[in-house]
DNA sequence: GCTTACAAACTTGTATACAAGACTGTAAGC
DNA sequence: GCTTACAGTCTTGTATACAAGTTTGTAAGC
């Protein structure tokens, strides 16, 4: 794998995991090429790899876009995560002490980030818990799969999650680790199942998948004299800004 | 995704699943381009996607090769399959009758292929069982993951499996389906775990990963007068023939 | 004023040319 | 006879040029 292309791939994926790139963000080849100081060829390579991993999509001759999973795709992603993560906890025989220690430490960091109100890192940390779990209990292959899936569910949360319940999630993580420490992996698996179920249930899958939804509601009851106002009906995020204030141009 | 590139990707992946391409097979860009009637660009695209999926690897300026998983990678692949497939069986609440019917039919086809001695299709069918299961009980995302993993384990079996126990595998499948029919998903999961464990245990992970292993044994004890005989010490399969007799050039 | 047609700019899609490195075969030197 | 150096061939790596399609902005017509 190319170092440069791998960098782009990794950079984009981890930015998504950190919640620093919104779903629907347009990723122009030339812009990325300039940004990373490589040629379009490399960028395309990275994009195609990310497409295979289900993180971006290409719209013919319009550009690459961070995926905006549909409601069904969201359900699939959560079901898949449930299957794999509960499967992992149940397949494992025992949990080594050092794994427990590192997971506990991770939860502690989560809580700290929540208490200090560090919004930007907490989303990243909450997803990271699951990735760490896979890494500690499973293997590299499994970790990679979970990582890609977590990227998806992160994007899904950004699309459909009305209110973020960071505290609750972190508490769930704590309970799961506690069950693991008690040696009750079956309980840990059930808690994990419930945890992922809770996150999924917290979504409003009837909402967002198109950016005009909000507008439609807005002008559906009252105004209907003229037709739709001049709103760009493009692919949701016309100019790809970074929410965390990182300059991208 | 490009139709042409997707074809190449799909063609190679299903050929691997069917056991028609050996691990270590060299896949030259130009050769594939000629074969599929497309340009190298497209072939590269497909190859990079397959690389992301863990099916092929590129060796710098030498070519693309179907992966030859190491012993550790083999263990990872089997562990991952165990986690996911037992997780699936345990996550599912009930098994719809039509799913049961289609699985039973699949097992019947397996047995028939075994009894008629249809070697070429039986390897494919045995792997297909797991893919069908994921498709019937899970979702498309899960199926894709299982498919890629099955491709890996198929290659692993080709590398490390001294004797193929097709009958036993098919019998295992039958037992799993029976447990599902009885509504005992926990039993089904345990049987699946044992089944995958058996396949893994049937491997000789101390053997093959390099094609010279056989030679080394051959000349290590007795002959040591002259040095190594003139054997091409290339990357295992110098001219990529198709075992099932399909013309490739 | 509103719609529609057209043109210009922009973006990806694709092929091709060339560069860089790896392998093989041959010949020279010890 | 054996080793080593070298050249030729083959293969991928990379960039670039151009083709094709999409979007946006503008102006003409109703």
pLDDT of residue A163: 85
Question: Which nucleotide is at minimal CA–C1' distance from A3?
Answer: D13
From the options 1.20.1560.10, 3.40.710.10, 3.30.420.10, 1.10.10.10, give the CATH code of A3-66: 1.10.10.10
Q: Do residues B36 and B4 touch, judged by C-beta distance below 8 A?
A: yes
Q: Is the pLDDT of residue A210 over 70?
A: no
Question: Are domains B3-66 and B71-201 of this chain identical in fold?
Answer: no
A149-177 per-position pLDDT tens digit: 999 999 999 999 888 899 999 999 999 99
Q: Residue A58 belongs to what H/E stretch?
A: strand A56-59
Q: How far apart, in whole angstroms, are the C-alpha atoms of residue B127 and residue A233? A: 46
Contacts of B45 in chain A (CB under 8 A): 48
Of how many residues is chain B composed?
Answer: 249
Q: How far apart, in whole angstroms, are the C-alpha atoms of residue A240 and residue A83? A: 34
CATH homologous superfamily of B71-201 equals: GntR ligand-binding domain-like (1.20.120.530)
What is the distance in angstroms measured between the alpha-carbon CA of B6 and the sugar C1' of D13? 22
What is the distance in angstroms measured between the alpha-carbon CA of B213 and the sugar C1' of C30? 34
Contacts of B77 in chain A (CB under 8 A): 141
**B221 CB contacts (<8 Å, ≥6 apart)?**
none
Q: How far apart, in whole angstroms, are the C-alpha atoms of residue B85 and residue A83? A: 8
Q: How far apart, in whole angstroms, are the C-alpha atoms of residue A33 and residue A31? A: 5
Task: Confirm or reject contact between B54 and chain A (CB < 8 A).
Answer: yes
Q: How far apart, in whole angstroms, are the C-alpha atoms of residue B28 and residue B175? A: 43
Residue B58 approaches strand D within 7 Å at CB? yes
Task: Confirm or reject contact between A156 and chain B (CB < 8 A).
Answer: no
What is the distance in angstroms measured between the alpha-carbon CA of A40 and the sugar C1' of C13? 12
If you measure CA to CA, which chain A residue comes closest to B41?
A41
B181-224 per-position pLDDT tens digit: 999 999 999 999 999 999 999 999 887 666 666 666 666 554 44
**A60 CB contacts (<8 Å, ≥6 apart)?**
none
Q: Is the pLDDT of residue B247 over 70?
A: no
Contacts of A49 in chain B (CB under 8 A): 48-49, 51-52
Residue B29 approaches strand D within 7 Å at CB? yes
Question: Which nucleotide is at minimal CA–C1' distance from B58?
Answer: D12
As given in the structure block, the two tokens for residue B104 are 């039973």
Q: How far apart, in whole angstroms, are the C-alpha atoms of residue B191 and residue A133? A: 25
Kindly report the CA angle at A103 between A108 and B193, in degrees rounded to 5?
150
Please state the φ and ψ torsions of residue A59, each to the nearest 5 degrees. Answer: -110, 120
CB contact under 8 A, B51 and A1: yes
Interface pTM, i.e. ipTM: 0.88
Q: Percent of chain A having pLDDT more than 90?
A: 74
Helices (H), chain A: 3-17, 29-36, 40-52, 71-91, 97-115, 119-137, 140-160, 166-181, 185-201, 213-219
Q: Which residue has the higher pLDDT, A234 or B91?
A: B91
Q: Where are the domains of chain A?
A: 3-66, 71-201
């Amino acid at each position: 794998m190319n170092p440069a292309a791998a960098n782009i791939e990794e950079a984009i994926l981890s930015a998504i995991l950190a919640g620093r790139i919104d779903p629907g963000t347009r990723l122009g080849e030339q812009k990325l090429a300039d940004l990373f100081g490589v040629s379009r060829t490399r960028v395309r390579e990275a994009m195609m790899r990310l497409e295979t991993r289900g993180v971006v999509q290409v719209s013919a001759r319009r550009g690459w876009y961070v995926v905006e999973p549909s409601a069904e795709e969201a359900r699939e992603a959560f079901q898949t995560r449930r299957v794999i993560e509960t499967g992992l906890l149940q397949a494992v025989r025992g949990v080594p002490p050092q794994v427990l220690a590192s997971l506990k430490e991770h939860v502690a960091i989560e809580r700290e980030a929540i208490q200090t109100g560090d919004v930007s890192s907490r989303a990243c940390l909450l997803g990271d818990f699951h990735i760490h779990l896979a890494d500690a209990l499973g293997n590299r292959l499994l970790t990679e799969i979970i990582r890609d899936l977590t990227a998806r569910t992160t994007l899904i949360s950004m699309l459909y999650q009305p209110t973020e319940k960071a505290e609750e999630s972190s508490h769930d993580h704590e309970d799961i680790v506690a069950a693991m420490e008690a040696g009750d992996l079956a309980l840990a698996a059930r808690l994990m199942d419930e945890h992922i179920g809770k996150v999924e249930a917290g979504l409003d899958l009837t909402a967002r998948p198109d950016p005009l939804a909000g507008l439609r509601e807005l002008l559906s009851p009252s105004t209907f004299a003229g037709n739709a106002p001049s709103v760009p009906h493009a692919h949701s995020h016309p100019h790809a800004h970074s929410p965390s204030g990182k300059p991208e141009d």
